């Protein structure tokens, strides 16, 4: 694994704008960065990223089956009592899911380490699935990449296939509504991309802002035109939905969610200590414990994370040599876990994080984010990758 400088395409910004990728620059700072790329060998991808990602996903799915049947485990995850039956029923009835992302620390030489799972509202999807593939094709055609360069990226292919399979089996409604917060440019672009994948699979769709979803007198959730929402893909956290005024109506509304209610388990960082308890010493796991039950911090270093947090917020790090640093955020009052500190590699002053995508239970591709600091946040840059050997 190497970070290699490369000349950017001269018209990449115009292409991004034309394709709706308008958050390529955020608050004047670069988000999409093609001044370099991360180069992997095929062995690194297949042995160190693809297969471990599949194994970790399978372990996580087995954990869901255990958690929904255990009040003790649901307590440890702080799942609200009012929603436990709804979550368990969604799992036991086989409600389908679409995709998720594993965040991995990997330097090209050792086992990739799972830092966390993003299985409810993962972002950086469009950049991973489409725009970096377009970059690869165009840079390869221009001779800027080594001959025969490839990419670990079947994300879009698998998304379209997954939508088609669900539609053919009638496991989703005849129309799928796609929703995100109205003023979030990144989230809106992500749901538009997923909506396009659904269109490619022949599915009828509609777009609605989260703020415009209403509740009819009969208990149906509706869109801005008062049409009943049968299946809703929502890029909006399940824990937020459960806390809001309409939350108590979710279970009885008849509305199907993508991602399904049982993803509330895998979007909870409490799965990290639960996985460690069941697979202690696994090469791709880091030691982790619920903070409230841990007598002393992990040594020789630890990371403290809220059970419910996003985009690298409210992270506290203590390194082996006594250095301490962290990030602010809105999630500081809730329960936490502690995880063994495993630093991201530093390459030319940049700290890359590998996001490994799972689509319909298959490891499907990767996207890399990098930062000048050791904590990946919402402002961290996206850098493309290529398989070059």
Residues 203 and 251 grouped into a single domain? yes
Q: Centre a 10 Å sphere on the Cβ of residue 73 and count the other Cβ atoms it contains.
A: 17
Query: Looking at the DSSP assignment, which residues form a beta bridge with residue 4?
Result: 37
d(CA 379, CA 311): 9
Q: Cβ distance 377 to 311 under 8 Å? A: yes
Domain membership flag for residue 273 = no
Residue ending a domain, choose from 340, 356, 375? 340
Domain membership flag for residue 15 = yes
pLDDT band at 357 (very low <50, low <70, confident <90, very high): very high
Stretch 318-344: mean pLDDT, rounded?
Answer: 88
Domain membership flag for residue 351 = yes
What pLDDT is recorded for position 295?
A: 58
Judge whether residue 297 has pLDDT over 70. no
What pLDDT is recorded for position 294?
A: 60
Domain membership flag for residue 117 = yes
Decide the pairing of beta strands 204-209 and 175-180.
Answer: parallel
Residues 236 and 374 grouped into a single domain? yes
Q: Which of 248, 245, 238, 279 is nearest to 122 (CA)?
A: 238
Residues 37 and 133 grouped into a single domain? yes
Domain membership flag for residue 335 = yes
What pLDDT is recorded for position 378?
A: 83
d(CA 220, CA 241): 15
Stretch 341-356: mean pLDDT, rounded?
Answer: 96
Residues 301 and 159 grouped into a single domain? no
What pLDDT is recorded for position 379?
A: 85
Residues 23 and 164 grouped into a single domain? yes
Judge whether residue 296 has pLDDT over 70. no
- Quote the mean pLDDT of the chain: 95
Judge whether residue 276 has pLDDT over 90. yes
Decide the pairing of beta strands 2-5 and 36-40.
Answer: antiparallel
Q: Cβ distance 65 to 87 under 8 Å? A: no
Residues 127 and 82 grouped into a single domain? yes
Q: How is residue 287 annotated by DSSP?
A: -
Under 8 Å CB-to-CB from 145, ≥6 apart: which residues? 6, 37, 136, 139, 386, 388
Number of domains comprising the chain: 2
d(CA 304, CA 234): 28
pLDDT tens digit sequence for 99-133:
999 999 999 998 999 999 999 999 999 999 999 99
Residues 54 and 103 grouped into a single domain? yes
Residues 34 and 175 grouped into a single domain? yes
Residues 236 and 260 grouped into a single domain? yes
Domain membership flag for residue 281 = no
Stretch 188-207: mean pLDDT, rounded?
Answer: 98
What is the CATH classification number for the domain harbouring 78? 3.40.50.11280
Under 8 Å CB-to-CB from 127, ≥6 apart: which residues? 21, 32, 367, 382
- 184-198, 203-217, 285-299: the lowest-pLDDT one: 285-299
Q: How is residue 216 annotated by DSSP?
A: -
Residues 263 and 162 grouped into a single domain? yes
Domain membership flag for residue 274 = no
Measure Cα distances from 87 to 144, 161, 179, 215, 218 in Å: 49, 26, 21, 21, 23
Decide the pairing of beta strands 316-318 and 302-306.
Answer: antiparallel
pLDDT tens digit sequence for 371-385:
999 988 888 999 999
pLDDT tens digit sequence for 133-172:
999 999 999 999 999 999 999 999 999 999 999 999 999 9
Q: How is residue 307 annotated by DSSP?
A: S
State which residues form the domain around 67. Answer: 2-268+346-387
- Torsion sign, CA atoms 249, 251, 255, 261: positive
Residues 25 and 144 grouped into a single domain? yes
Judge whether residue 281 has pLDDT over 90. yes
d(CA 118, CA 329): 18
pLDDT band at 312 (very low <50, low <70, confident <90, very high): confident
Residues 150 and 257 grouped into a single domain? yes
Query: Looking at the DSSP assignment, which residues form a beta bridge with residue 356?
Result: 102, 366
Judge whether residue 266 has pLDDT over 70. yes
Domain membership flag for residue 247 = yes
Q: Cβ distance 122 to 99 under 8 Å? A: yes
pLDDT tens digit sequence for 33-47:
999 999 999 999 999
- The H-or-E segment that residue 335 falls in is none
Under 8 Å CB-to-CB from 182, ≥6 apart: which residues? 188, 209, 210, 211, 212
């Amino acid at each position: 694994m190497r970070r290699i400088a490369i000349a950017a395409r001269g018209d990449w910004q115009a292409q991004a704008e034309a394709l709706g990728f308008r958050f390529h620059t955020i608050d004047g700072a670069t988000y999409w960065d093609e001044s370099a790329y991360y180069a992997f060998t095929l062995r690194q991808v297949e042995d160190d990223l693809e297969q471990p990602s599949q194994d970790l996903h399978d372990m996580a799915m087995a954990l869901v089956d255990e958690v929904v049947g255990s009040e003790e485990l649901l307590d440890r995850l702080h799942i609200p009592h009012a929603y436990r039956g709804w979550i368990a029923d969604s799992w036991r009835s086989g409600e389908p899911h679409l995709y998720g992302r594993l965040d991995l620390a990997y330097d090209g030489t050792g086992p990739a380490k799972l830092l966390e799972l993003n299985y409810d509202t993962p972002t950086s999807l469009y950049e991973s699935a489409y725009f970096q593939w377009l970059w690869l094709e165009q840079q390869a055609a221009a001779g800027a990449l080594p001959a025969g360069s490839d990419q670990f990226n079947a994300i879009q292919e698998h998304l379209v296939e997954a939508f088609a399979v669900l539609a053919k089996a009638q496991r989703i409604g005849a129309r799928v509504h796609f929703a995100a917060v109205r003023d979030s440019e990144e989230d809106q672009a992500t749901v538009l991309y997923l909506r396009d994948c659904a269109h490619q699979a022949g599915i009828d769709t509609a777009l609605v802002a989260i703020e415009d979803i209403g509740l009819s007198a009969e208990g149906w959730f509706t869109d801005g035109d008062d049409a009943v929402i049968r299946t809703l893909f929502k890029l909006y956290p399940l824990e937020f939905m459960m806390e809001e005024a309409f939350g108590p109506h979710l279970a009885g509304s008849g509305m199907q969610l993508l991602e399904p209610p049982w993803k509330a388990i895998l979007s909870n960082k409490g799965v990290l200590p639960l996985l460690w308890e069941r697979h202690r010493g696994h090469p791709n796991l880091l030691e982790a414990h619920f903070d409230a039950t841990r007598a002393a911090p992990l040594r020789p270093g630890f990371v403290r994370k809220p059970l419910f947090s996003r985009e690298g917020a409210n992270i506290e790090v203590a390194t082996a040599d006594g250095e301490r640093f962290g990030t602010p955020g809105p999630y500081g009052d809730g329960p936490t876990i502690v995880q063994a500190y495993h630093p991201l590699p530093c390459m030319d002053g940049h700290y890359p994080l590998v996001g490994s995508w799972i689509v319909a239970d298959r490891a499907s591709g990767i996207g890399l984010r990098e930062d000048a600091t050791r904590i990946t946040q919402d402002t961290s840059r996206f850098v493309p990758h290529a398989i070059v050997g």
